[in-house]
Structures are given as C-alpha cells and as structure tokens.
Structure 1
Amino acid sequence: MAITSANQLELLQTAEAVAREKMIDPGLVVEAMEESLARAAKSRYGSEMDIRVSIDRKTGKATFTRVRSVVEDEELENYQSEMTVEQAKQYMADPKVGDTYVEEVPPVEMGRIAAQSAKQVILQKVREAERDRQYEEFKDRAGTIINGLVKREEFGNVIVDVGAGEAILRRNEKIGRESYRPNDRIRCYIKDVRREPRGPQIFLSRTAPEFMAELFKMEVPEIYDGIIEIKAVARDPGSRAKIAVISYDGSIDPVGACVGMRGSRVQAVVNELQGEKIDIIPWNEDQPTFLVNALQPAEVSKVVLDEEAGKIEVVVPEEQLSLAIGRRGQNVRLASQLTGLDIDIMTEEEESARRQKEFEARTGLFMETLDLDEFFAQLLVSEGFTSLEEVAYVELDELLVIDGVDEGTAEELQARARDYLEAKAKAAIDAARALGAEDSLIDFDGLTPQMIEALAKDGIKTLEDFATCADWELAGGWTTDGGERIKDDGILEPFGMSLEEAQDMVMTARVLLGWVDPAELEPEVSEDDEAEGDEEAADTGAGV
C-alpha cells in the first residue's frame, strides 16, 4: 500500500474519526500515524537509518525524510544516521559538528506485515492517549462524590462505569452486605486515582468518613457556603456514625441546620448510607466538653483528661455504663475516633474504689520512705502529693499550706525525701556498673539512674549500644502479625518515655558519637520562608 494522492485525505479523515470516537486530540492520532509510517520505512530502508515522516495537517500528504547528524570523527558509530565534517562537505556548505542534513526519500510500499505493524502502533498510541485523558480528567476529582452505573461484580468488587472510564469499588469499601446488579445507579466517593501501566485506576469508597462529610455538604447549603464546618467524622459503616459540626454564625444552630426541617436533610444522608444512624454533635475546643457531647446519649458524671498521655477517663453512673459503651463497644469506639483520645469508661463505684486504692498505696509509700505516721501521710496525699519527687523538689511554700506543717517540718520532710531518692539513685547506678554499664552511658543527659539500670539489665551498657536502639525498643510500640496486633514492651516504657522522646535521645547520642552531622538535622528553609524572613527584616529595619 503506497501513500498516494487518492488516500492522503483519507488519513486525516481517519485520524479525526478515531479522535472523535476516543475523545482525544486529532494531532495525537496523526503523530501515531507518522511514527507507524516511519517504522515501516525503516524496515524498507534499514533500521539504522533515521527516517522521519511528516503528514501535512491540511492536505494529508506524507513526506518521508532521512536525517543525518554531523559528529566528530572519533564519535562516528552509525554510518547510516551520522557523518563526519569531511563527509558532510559533499552535501552542505561549511558544516559544523551538531548540524543535521535532511534529504527527502521516496515513499515506501507498505506490505501486509508493515501495515499490520503500523496499525498496532496507532492503536497503542491511541490507547495511551486515552489513558492519559482519563487520568487527567479524574486526578483532580479525588475527594469528591461521583455517580455511576454498575457494570459487573468480580469477586465481591464492583466495577462502575463513570462515563469516561471504569472505576472499582472494592469489597471492603462497600457498606455492610450491599449487593448490586448491572445497570444499578450508584453514588461513591473517589478515594484515590493512580496512574498505573495498565491504565488509570480509580478507587471508590462508600465507607470512608469523607463520603459522609461530602453527602452532608450536598444536603446542607450552610456547609457548602462555609458557615458550618464539619470538624470530625467517625463511622461504623452501615450501622452508626458520629459527626462533629461547628457554626461560624452565632444565629445558626449547626446541629439543627444539619438535621433540617423534620429531619429531611439528615434523612437524605441516612437513606444513601443504607439506614446508618447518625449522631450530630456540636464541636467544642474544650476536649472534655467535646467528649461529653460525643458520648451522647449517655450522661457523664466526671471527666479526667491526661493530655500528655492522650488518654481520658470518663465516669458515668452505673445505670448509664452500658449506654456509654454501646453495643459491642460501638459508642465509646466512635467517640474515641471522633476526639482522637483513648477513653477509659468506669462507673462511679469503680472510680471510687480505684481512688481509694491509689490513696492507700500513696499513703503507704510516704509512711515507709519518709518514716511518717499514717495520719500525716494521709494528709500529704489529701493535699495532692503523689510521689517522693514532688515532696523533695516543690517550693517550700506548697508544704507550708498543709495544716500543722511549719518551716522546720517542711525542711525535714524534703531532706528525708531527697536522702531517700539519692540513696535509691546511688543503688541503681551501683547495680548498673556491676552489670557493666560504662560512664559514656551513665553520664548521658536525660537518663535517670533507674533507666540506666534497666538498660544495663537489657544488655545496653555503652552510649554506642544506646545509639543503635530503635525508638520503639525504648518506648514500646505495636506490630501486626497475621492480622493480629501484638504489643512490644519498651525497655524505658515503665518510666513514661514516649516515642518522640526516645527518637530525640537516640538522635542526640548519634550526634555525640559523630555518626550524624547536626547540620543534616536542621530543617530546610524554603524560598518562601527566606522571602518572609527578608520581608520581616525589612519591616524591622524600616521601624528603627
């Protein structure tokens, strides 16, 4: 098959038809044709030749050219596509290295094999262009809701026709025991869009918390306009959910706006989520207050927050315990997800018994270590003292507020506490040395004598040993084995060391040993930050 005047325009017509059908740029189809014709020409003239084809976008005429580059004598490798300066003088006036010589060659006759190869090239290029178009169309739509038609179901995964391509709703992203038939309409949240060799992959979800947030945004105009903001969402898909909202307009009730007239707005979301019950909760910056709201409909008697540990204790009346926990722990689990806190729920009786036990344990500690009678030890505990360190190192005035304690008694109490702590620290250091702990570890800032003893018992006896530790080895953590979470106990976990503290201490040890350059740990300053710094400096200079 030769590219004759009879079928030159046919090339352009074919390109336009394919482009229209696949919704891609006709120019991409023409480029694919040029490449396929160039391959066919190479098979005729020789694969080492640099043959290029250009199709006129108006007339459809295909021009075949051979390109040769001018190179240095010692760099000449391919005689068919390269030539030296001397050789180029036959074709060009004053040739230089880097110049190219282009000459037109006769069009080729395309045999059956060449035509089939050209067809494959065009199809491949069109397929790649189609995939790129799909990816470009959907990459910015991640995080939004899309409507589609169910095409088929494969191994529990639903393949959805979303117009310009196919998307997948995986089995674990469906609500409960949802089942779909071909041509059912479905509404999903676009969770992720990835570019992969087999084409763009669009992953959908109906269980993501963001799906519920987007549904409320569609049903509640105040959320869409930014007057009401969704601060947090927690879901047990298909069963129950909690959503925290706040209003930036004092005249608008965020909960009422989300519920709607006679519950019309929230009911629309519930219907879409297969009857999932939704608790709409007013968000509050005060975490304990927010938690009380999140545990609705249970009533809470008292909340104790431990900000450092990220834990919170909730005390409820005995008759409210089952309501607060919920069926299979659902209520407290959703409240924990919503607040981002570990919640420990107990009844008033359990809390009273626990506090009594703590009171007795601290009383016994002070009686034994400070040589006090029971009444005086109980007095200390009642005033809020929980450890020997507090007694030893608080300001003297804090002890003087206790009834019956004068300055001499306060000083004696502190002296006894410090003597006991120093003796205990010396015993721990002696034990660590006996185990082989070296001064490099003992003198390292941040480690208490008891920590050093614990490390030595675990075989960590030098600063080098300490620097090779992972943060989770020191502070503890969790690993997953066969789908089951297993707790890893940290060596220093009993001393309240967090992962962040462990990371900082290990990195400090590595810097001291010269393993890490301190400059590498400094955060990089971006151009924007530098510009801001220059502006601040200019403002400061202007104000002088």
Structure 2
Amino acid sequence: MAITSANQLELLQTAEAVAREKMIDPGLVVEAMEESLARAAKSRYGSEMDIRVKIDRKTGRATFTRVRTVVEDDLLENYQAELTVKQAKQYKSDPQVGDEIIDEVPAVELGRIAAQSAKQVILQKVREAERDRQYDEFKDRKGTIINGVVKREEYGNVIVDIGRGEGVLRRNEKIGREAYRPNDRVRCFIKDVRREARGPQIFLSRTAPDFMAELFKMEVPEIYDGIIEIKAVARDPGSRAKIAVVSNDGSIDPVGACVGMRGSRVQAVVNELQGEKIDIIPWNEDMPTFLVNALQPAEVSKVVLDEDAERIEVVVPDEQLSLAIGRRGQNVRLASQLTGLDIDIMTESDDSARRQKEFEERTKLFMDTLDLDEFFAQLLVSEGFANLEEVAYVEVDELLVIDGVDEGTAEELQARARDYLDAQNAKALEAARALGVGEDLIEFEGLSPQMVEALANDGVLTLEDFATCADWELAGGWTTQDGQRVKDDGILEKFDVSLAEAQDLVMTARVMLGWVDPEELIGDSAEGEEGDDAEVEENEE
C-alpha cells in the first residue's frame, strides 16, 4: 500500500477514532503513526539513515524526509546520516557543524510485514498513552473515596471497575469476611497509585483508618468545612474503632456534631463499615488527658507519662481493669494507636504494691549505707530522698525539715553519705583500671567512676572508643521491629543519662580528639536557633 495513493484523510480519521475510544490526545496517536511509518521507511532505505515522517494535521499528507547532520571531517562515521562541511555546501551556502540537511524522499510502499510492524508500534504507543492518562488521572485522587463495580475475584482479591481504570481490593484490605459478587457496587478508599511496567496499579482499601476519616468528612458538613478537625483514627476493622476530633469553634461540640441527630451521622458510617462500633473521643493537647478520654468507657485513676521512652503508665481501679484492656486487649490497643504511645495498664493494688516495694528498697538502702535504724530511714524516704547522692549534696535546710533532725545530725548524715560514695568511686576506678581503662577516659568530665566502670565492662576503654559510640548506645532507646516497639538497653542508661546528654558527651569527646571543629558546632547551633526563632515569629504572625 502506498501512502500517496491512499486516502490521506483516513490517517487523521483513524487517529481521532482511536483517541476517542481510548480517551487520549489524538496528537499522540498521530505521533505513533509518524514513528511507525518512519520505522517502515528505515527498513526500506536502510537502518543507518535518519528517516523522519511528518503527517499534516489538516490534510493528512505524510512527508518522508532524510536528515543528515554536518560534522567535522575527521569525525565522519555514518555516511548515511552525516556529511562533512564540504559536502554540505552542495545543499547550503554557509553550512556550520551541527546544522541539519533535510531532503524529501519518496514515500514507501507498506508491505504486509511493514504494515504489521507499523500497527504494533501504533498499538504500543496508544497503550503507553492510555497508561499515562490513567496514572495522571488517579494519582491526584489518592487518599479519596471512590465508588466502583465489582468485576471479578482473583485468589481472594477483588478487581473493581472504577470508571476509566481498574482497582485492586486485596484480601487483607476487606472488612472481616466481606464477600462480593460481580456487579456489586462497592465504596473504597484509594490507598496507593503506582506506576508499573504493566500499567498503573490502583490499590483500594476498606480497612485503612483514613477511609473512616473520609466517610465522616462526607457525613459531617462541619468536618468538610474545617470547623471540626479529625486528629487521629484507630481501627480494628469490622469490630471497633476510635476517632479523636476537636472543634475550632468553641460553640460547636465536636462529638455531638459527629454523632448527629439521634446518631444519624455516625450510624451512616457504621452501616458502611459493616456494623463497626465507633467511639468518638474529644481530642486534647495534653497527652495524659487525651489518653484518659481514649480509654473510655474505663475510668482512670492516675497517668504517668515517660516522653523519652514514648510510654505511658495508666492506673485504673481494680474492677475497671478488664474494661480498660477490653476484649482481647482491643480497647488498650486502639488507645495506643490513637495516642502513638505504648500503654502499660495496672490496677490500683498493683500500683500500691509497687510503690511499697520501692519504699522498702530505698529504706533498706539508707539503713545499709548510712547505718540508720528503720524508722529514721523511712523518714528520709517519706521526704522524697531516693538515693545517696541526694542526701550527700542536698542543701542542709532540706534535711532540717525532717522531724528530729538538727544541724549536727544533718551534717553527720551528709558526711556518711559522702564517705560511702567516695569509697564506691574508688572501688569503681580500681575495677576500671584493672580492665585497662585509659586515664583520658577516667579524667573526662561528665563521667562518674561508676559510668567509667560500666563502659569498661562493655569494652569502651579509651576516649577514642567513647567518641565512636552513638548516643542511643549510651542512653538506650526504642526501635520498631515487625510493628512492635523493642527496647535497646544503653550502657549508661541505669545512670539516667538522657539521649541529649549522651549526644553532648560524645560530641565533646570528638572535639577534644580533633575529629570535629567546635566552630562548626557553634554554627550549626546558631542556625538551629535562628530557624527556631523564625518559626516562632512566623507562628506569631
């Protein structure tokens, strides 16, 4: 088939028909045709030639041209696609290196094989354009709810027709034991959109916490308008969920607005989630207060927050323990997800027993080390003294408030405490030196003799060894493994060294060794402070 003898407008009509069917730009189809014709022409004239085809967008006429590039004489390699400056003068009066010489060549006859190859090129280009169009359309809809129709089920995964594409609702993204049949309508959350070789993959979900948040946004106008804000969502799909909300308008109750008249709003969400029970909780900036709300309907007696470890201890009445934990730990697990903290729940009797044990241990410590009778040691503990350092170095006035303690008794107590600590320090240094600790580490400011001994027991013997330590190796920390928070014990953790303190100690050692320029540290610190100041000013504005 010769292009010149065919009805040239058929090219444009075919391109428009394909583009309309696939919902893509007709220009992309025409470009695919141009590429396929150029490939057919190369097989006719030679693969080394640079043959290009241009189809007129109005008339449909295809123009075949041969393009050659002007190069230096000594760089001429491909005689079919390149020519020298001297050769180019036959076509151009003043050719320059890099110029292109374009000649029109006769149109080619498309044989059966060439036509089939051209068809494959066009189909491939159209398929790529269709995939790009799908990806561009759905990538911006990630994080929204979409309605679809079930097409089929493959190995437990549901393929959903979502209009101009297909989405996959995986088995683990379905609620409970949901079962779908072809042509069932389903509402899903677009969890992710990925560009892959086989085309864009659209992953749907009905178990994602954001799915519930989006459903509430659809049912509660105040959330859609931004008057009420959803701060956190935790779900046990198909069973129970907790959602924390806060109102930006003091006159509007966020919980009441989400519940609706006679529970109409929340019931609409519950029905969509297959009867999932939903606790709507008022959010609070104060984490302990928020946790008390999150553990509803259980009552909480006391909350102790450990921000460094991101853990929180909750004390509940003995009869409330099962309610606070919930069936199979569901209530406390959802509260933990909602707050982002690990929660330890104990009863009032357990808390009392623990405090009694601590009281006895501290009493025994003072009795053994300070040679006190039980009654006097209990008085010290009752006044809040927890260790010998507090007794040894506290202001004398704080000891005088204890009944029966005069100035002489206070001085004697402090002298005994200091003598004992000095003896312990000397013992620790002796043990550290026996392990081979260098004097540079012993004399390093900020490390007590007991700390030096602990470092030596862990193989840290010199200041260089210490400078190579990470802050979490010294102070301890938490890591997440398989979704569970795991405790990393620190060498100096038992001495209550924080991460910030550990980092300061390590950086000081590196400066002393000349590994770090102290001016750089000052510069980084100043930049950080300026950034903080700028952020404060921006917030004030």
- TM-score, length-normalised on structure 1? 0.89
Partner of 1:112: 112
Partner of 1:541: none
Are 1:234 and 2:234 an aligned pair? yes
Partner of 1:225: 225
Query: Which amino acid in the other structure matches residue 382 of structure 2?
Result: S
Q: CA deviation at 1:361?
A: 0.5
CA contact (8 A) 1:479 1:488 kept: no
CA contact (8 A) 2:478 2:485 kept: no
1:84-233 matched pairs, under 5 angstroms: 84-233=84-233
The Cα offsets for residues 342-363 of structure 1, whole Å up to 9 and x where unpaired, read as 2222222111111111111111
For residues 499 and 207 of structure 2, the distance between their equivalents in structure 1, rounded to whole angstroms, comes to 31
CA contact (8 A) 1:476 1:493 kept: no
Partner of 1:310: 310
Give the 3 Å change call, closer, same or farther, for CA 34–314 of structure 1 in structure 2: same
Q: CA deviation at 1:18?
A: 0.8
Give the 3 Å change call, closer, same or farther, for CA 227–56 of structure 1 in structure 2: same
Moved more, 132-141 or 443-452: 443-452
Give the 3 Å change call, closer, same or farther, for CA 163–376 of structure 1 in structure 2: same
Partner of 2:39: 39
The Cα offsets for residues 105-152 of structure 1, whole Å up to 9 and x where unpaired, read as 111111112111111111111111111111111111111111111222
Q: CA deviation at 1:421?
A: 3.0
Query: Which amino acid in the other structure matches residue 301 of structure 1?
Result: S
Are 1:13 and 2:13 an aligned pair? yes
Q: CA deviation at 1:490?
A: 4.3
Query: Which amino acid in the other structure matches residue 187 of structure 2?
Result: R
Give the 3 Å change call, closer, same or farther, for CA 55–178 of structure 1 in structure 2: same
For residues 152 and 63 of structure 1, the distance between their equivalents in structure 2, rounded to whole angstroms, comes to 47
CA contact (8 A) 1:8 1:61 kept: yes
For residues 149 and 443 of structure 2, the distance between their equivalents in structure 1, rounded to whole angstroms, comes to 68
Are 1:72 and 2:65 an aligned pair? no
SS in 1 for 2:256: helix
Identity %: 83
Q: CA deviation at 1:280?
A: 0.8
The Cα offsets for residues 37-61 of structure 1, whole Å up to 9 and x where unpaired, read as 1111111111111111111000011
Partner of 1:416: 416
SS in 1 for 2:375: helix
SS in 2 for 1:243: strand
CA contact (8 A) 1:5 1:61 kept: no
SS in 2 for 1:7: coil
Q: CA deviation at 1:327?
A: 0.7
SS in 2 for 1:194: strand
Partner of 2:291: 291
Partner of 2:449: 449
SS in 2 for 1:159: strand
Partner of 1:331: 331
Give the 3 Å change call, closer, same or farther, for CA 505–68 of structure 1 in structure 2: farther
For residues 523 and 56 of structure 1, the distance between their equivalents in structure 2, rounded to whole angstroms, comes to 64
Query: Which amino acid in the other structure matches residue 128 of structure 2?
Result: E
For residues 190 and 71 of structure 2, the distance between their equivalents in structure 1, rounded to whole angstroms, comes to 53
For residues 466 and 120 of structure 2, the distance between their equivalents in structure 1, rounded to whole angstroms, comes to 62
Partner of 1:402: 402
Moved more, 375-384 or 261-270: 375-384
Partner of 1:540: none
CA contact (8 A) 1:176 1:237 kept: yes
Q: CA deviation at 1:447?
A: 4.3
Give the 3 Å change call, closer, same or farther, for CA 69–220 of structure 1 in structure 2: same
For residues 308 and 56 of structure 1, the distance between their equivalents in structure 2, rounded to whole angstroms, comes to 69
SS in 2 for 1:67: strand
Give the 3 Å change call, closer, same or farther, for CA 295–172 of structure 1 in structure 2: same
Give the 3 Å change call, closer, same or farther, for CA 407–93 of structure 1 in structure 2: farther
Query: Which amino acid in the other structure matches residue 383 of structure 2?
Result: E
5+ residue gaps in structure 1? 537-544
For residues 476 and 372 of structure 1, the distance between their equivalents in structure 2, rounded to whole angstroms, comes to 37
SS in 1 for 2:193: strand
1:249-328 matched pairs, under 5 angstroms: 249-328=249-328
For residues 53 and 205 of structure 1, the distance between their equivalents in structure 2, rounded to whole angstroms, comes to 47
The Cα offsets for residues 162-206 of structure 1, whole Å up to 9 and x where unpaired, read as 111111122222212222112211111111112222211212221
Q: CA deviation at 1:512?
A: 5.8
Partner of 1:243: 243
Moved more, 506-515 or 66-75: 506-515
CA contact (8 A) 1:64 1:107 kept: yes
SS in 2 for 1:452: helix
Q: CA deviation at 1:424?
A: 2.4
CA contact (8 A) 1:69 1:81 kept: yes
For residues 137 and 445 of structure 2, the distance between their equivalents in structure 1, rounded to whole angstroms, comes to 56
Moved more, 97-106 or 397-406: 397-406
Query: Which amino acid in the other structure matches residue 271 of structure 1?
Result: N
Query: Which amino acid in the other structure matches residue 342 of structure 1?
Result: D
The Cα offsets for residues 79-105 of structure 1, whole Å up to 9 and x where unpaired, read as 211122122122211111111111111
Q: CA deviation at 1:428?
A: 2.3
CA contact (8 A) 2:4 2:107 kept: no
For residues 166 and 463 of structure 2, the distance between their equivalents in structure 1, rounded to whole angstroms, comes to 57
For residues 529 and 423 of structure 1, the distance between their equivalents in structure 2, rounded to whole angstroms, comes to 48
For residues 419 and 82 of structure 2, the distance between their equivalents in structure 1, rounded to whole angstroms, comes to 90
For residues 322 and 291 of structure 2, the distance between their equivalents in structure 1, rounded to whole angstroms, comes to 17
For residues 61 and 79 of structure 1, the distance between their equivalents in structure 2, rounded to whole angstroms, comes to 29
Partner of 1:370: 370
The Cα offsets for residues 239-262 of structure 1, whole Å up to 9 and x where unpaired, read as 111111111222211111111111
For residues 30 and 303 of structure 2, the distance between their equivalents in structure 1, rounded to whole angstroms, comes to 71
For residues 116 and 450 of structure 1, the distance between their equivalents in structure 2, rounded to whole angstroms, comes to 83
For residues 50 and 445 of structure 1, the distance between their equivalents in structure 2, rounded to whole angstroms, comes to 75
5+ residue gaps in structure 2? none
Q: CA deviation at 1:487?
A: 5.9
Query: Which amino acid in the other structure matches residue 81 of structure 1?
Result: A
CA contact (8 A) 2:193 2:203 kept: yes
Partner of 2:428: 428
Query: Which amino acid in the other structure matches residue 181 of structure 2?
Result: R
For residues 189 and 100 of structure 1, the distance between their equivalents in structure 2, rounded to whole angstroms, comes to 53
